Structure 1
Amino acid sequence: MVDLPGYDDRGPDDLDGPGLARNGSELLNRAGFWAAHLGPALDADLDEELAEMFDEQLDAIRSTYEELTDPAGWPVFPIDAGGGAQLAVVYRNFEEDEGIDFLLSNGPGERYVRIAVIEGALEGPGISWAELTSIADRQGDRLERARTLLLLTPMLGDQEAATPTARDRLREALAVVGVTGDLATIADGLVTASPTRWSSTDEGSTVCEHPGSTRNPASHVALTPTDLRSVCQVLQPSGTQEAAGQLRFADLEKMDTRPIGNGRVPPSAWS
């Protein structure tokens, strides 16, 4: 089992139990894993087109997806964010409330904060391209850097990611983890899935303009100011400063606060 302080992973039939979260790292090498994990972010159906894109057998993708979404256990993919901080990608497998939760803890024993949700009731984007690559670069070797980049990419949304450099980095990561399909199409779909703008507040927090992001202080799913600051401190690329001309805190009132639309594939489409 995996302990995630502050995160409720108990099933409805065992509210006093130890929880359903389990380490899913063994699934990373399973045939079809990356197609199953990245498919929803590509707005793709679980069909032969997806299998061809990833050069995988459709049965293998379906088998891995079924294991990822098995209500009997919630696979967790922990990621070291440095300085004791942790990220976790959790397949939340409630039978009528499925989704992938992206969590962050500021240190050992600290509670986990949910910064994005994919599928079901969407909350995101949760990370910018600069932050995503920064977390990946903190990993110890080439394989872990590639895995981290791809595990977290589904919560990416950033208009600055639609660049040749970003596409090249994603193609390289896909190759490193063993994907042999149409890497260019996959990379392009990932960087253009949720284009949005990020900016800095006067307090130094990095915020997202998208109305459905937990990191948009004007959103109905916004993090508390304290949690936002903690998240930004962990994700902040070291030695970088936001470019001039970005939005300031006073501009947050102008941000779009309409409910987020369902731009991803709902779980029912992958049943």
Structure 2
Amino acid sequence: MLIKGYDDGPLVAGESLLPRPGFWSNYLMAICGNEPGASYVPEWFGDDGADADDLSEVLFDPERWPVFRAPAQGGPGVVVIYRNLLGDYGIDYLLTHPGRSHAQHVASWEGDLSGTGLSWDELIRIADTPATGEGVKDSAARLLLVLPLLTDPDLPDTAPARLTAALSEAGAPQDTASTTAEHLLAQLTRRSQHDPTWESPLSGA
């Protein structure tokens, strides 16, 4: 797999990892990790500790960097890359634009998001308009995949229910999915409130 700017990275398609036990807890639990007094466990996402540990070895393998593609019909999509460089680990988020030959790096996750994010409405548009070709097609998985890019303090009233449904479809227990959704959104919106200069990378596109 070739992506401009990652010529030396051993990129591999990662979409087949999404249904595996342990994926979503590995991917999303970091968002919750800085909330004071909270204790998050893989079971919140329908996983157990052994599954999460096993999959973390796959996700963070320095010899194989998983790539997750969420191209969107008629507009920018997102590519997520596990940048497993020794001493420089992170998750990179790139926007893909129709008609452009290269992806635009917009953010990285290294314990927190650096760069620019997207509004809730932009995340929903990407989640609900999968393009043809390779990549993640399921709207629930697409929403969860782009969720760390949320940088929007003003969410619609429908956001918790929509995220709860996505978590449930991904395997989160019915009795905890809504609580997990609320914690994820609270952490993301709390972060964005500290950045009054927030601006979507899609602004003016």
Query: Which category describes the TM-score, using the shorter chain as reference length?
Result: 0.7 to 0.9
1:121/1:49 Cα in 2 relative to 1: closer, same or farther (>3 Å)? closer
Give 3-state SS (helix, strand or coil) of 2:95's partner. Answer: strand
Asked if the contact 2:123–2:143 (Cα under 8 Å) also holds between the matched residues in 1, the reply is yes
Q: CA deviation at 1:128?
A: 0.9
Trace 1:224-263 onto structure 2 (pairs within 5 A). 228=201, 231-232=202-203
Q: CA deviation at 1:95?
A: 1.2
CA distance, structure 2, for counterparts of residue 70 and residue 107 of structure 1: 31
Tell me what 1:61 maps to.
52
Tell me what 2:86 maps to.
95
**1:191-228: CA deviations, max 9, x gaps?**
1223236xxxxxxxxxx9456x6x47xxxxxxxxxxx4
Q: Which amino acid aligns with 1:63?
A: D
Q: Which runs of 4+ in 1 moved over 6 A?
A: none
Tell me what 1:144 maps to.
138
Q: Any stretches of 5+ residues in structure 2 without a counterpart?
A: 132-136
Asked if the contact 1:34–1:179 (Cα under 8 Å) also holds between the matched residues in 2, the reply is no
Task: Compute the TM-score of the two structures, normalised by the length of structure 2.
Answer: 0.82
Q: CA deviation at 1:175?
A: 1.2
Q: CA deviation at 1:3?
A: 1.9
Tell me what 2:61 maps to.
70
1:166/1:105 Cα in 2 relative to 1: closer, same or farther (>3 Å)? same
Q: Does 2:178 align with 1:187?
A: no
1:82/1:112 Cα in 2 relative to 1: closer, same or farther (>3 Å)? same
Given the alignment, which residue of 29, 44, 67 partners 2:19? 29
Tell me what 2:167 maps to.
174
Give 3-state SS (helix, strand or coil) of 1:70's partner. Answer: coil
Q: Any stretches of 5+ residues in structure 1 without a counterpart?
A: 11-18, 198-207, 217-227, 235-271
Asked if the contact 1:79–1:148 (Cα under 8 Å) also holds between the matched residues in 2, the reply is yes
Asked if the contact 1:80–1:87 (Cα under 8 Å) also holds between the matched residues in 2, the reply is yes
Q: CA deviation at 1:53?
A: 1.9
Tell me what 2:134 maps to.
none
**1:114-144: CA deviations, max 9, x gaps?**
111111584145111111111112137xx71
Tell me what 1:8 maps to.
6
Identity %: 32
Q: CA deviation at 1:29?
A: 1.0
Task: Compute the TM-score of the two structures, normalised by the length of structure 1.
Answer: 0.64
CA RMSD across the alignment: 2.8
Q: CA deviation at 1:82?
A: 1.8
Give 3-state SS (helix, strand or coil) of 2:127's partner. Answer: helix
Tell me what 2:124 maps to.
133
Trace 1:158-169 onto structure 2 (pairs within 5 A). 158-161=152-155, 163-169=156-162
Q: CA deviation at 1:90?
A: 0.6
1:183/1:139 Cα in 2 relative to 1: closer, same or farther (>3 Å)? same
The count of aligned residue pairs is 195
